[in-house]
């Protein structure tokens, strides 16, 4: 709110709640017994709550999907580590046999 000399006296609360009101609603702030009262735009608030509910539902589904993907990838990684270790041990065994054959010649 601006005073007669042009200074802004808006409280931090005014700025914090501003996103929940349309500019028309903010312009309808009225003084009552020294306290500021706002005319709530209930339809806008209801739309925002509905939007938040949809967002939460979407994020919950996405989170479940990501957790399932992660579980699958962790299992796949474990399988690949096991195959890599098996291949490493086979290669090491072949190298040892080749060295022993070379020594026999």
* Structural contact between residues 28 and 39, judged by C-beta atoms closer than 8 angstroms: yes
54-79 average pLDDT score:
98
Which H or E element spans position 32? strand 30-32
Average pLDDT over residues 23-33: 51
28 in helix, strand or coil?
coil
Domain chopping of the chain, boundaries: 1-40, 42-105
DSSP state letter for 31: E
pLDDT of residue 39: 55
Check whether 25 has a pLDDT greater than 80.
Answer: no
Judged by average pLDDT, the poorest of 24-28, 56-60, 81-85 is 24-28
CB-based contacts of 26: which residues, under 8 Å, 6+ apart?
A: 18, 38
Q: Is the pTM of this model over 0.85?
A: no
Looking at residue 11, its pLDDT comes to 47
Cβ atoms 56, 63 nearer than 8 A: no
CA distance 12 to 83: 60
């Amino acid at each position: 709110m601006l005073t007669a000399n042009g200074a802004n006296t808006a409280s931090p609360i005014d700025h914090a709640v501003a996103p929940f009101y349309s500019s028309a609603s903010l312009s309808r702030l009225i003084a009552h017994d020294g306290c500021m009262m706002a005319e709530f735009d209930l339809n806008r608030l209801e739309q925002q709550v509905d939007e938040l509910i949809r967002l939460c539902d979407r994020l919950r589904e996405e989170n479940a999907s990501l957790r399932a993907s992660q579980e699958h990838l962790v299992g796949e990684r474990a399988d690949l580590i096991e195959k890599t270790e098996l291949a490493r041990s086979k290669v090491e065994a072949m190298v040892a046999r080749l060295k022993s054959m070379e020594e026999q010649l």
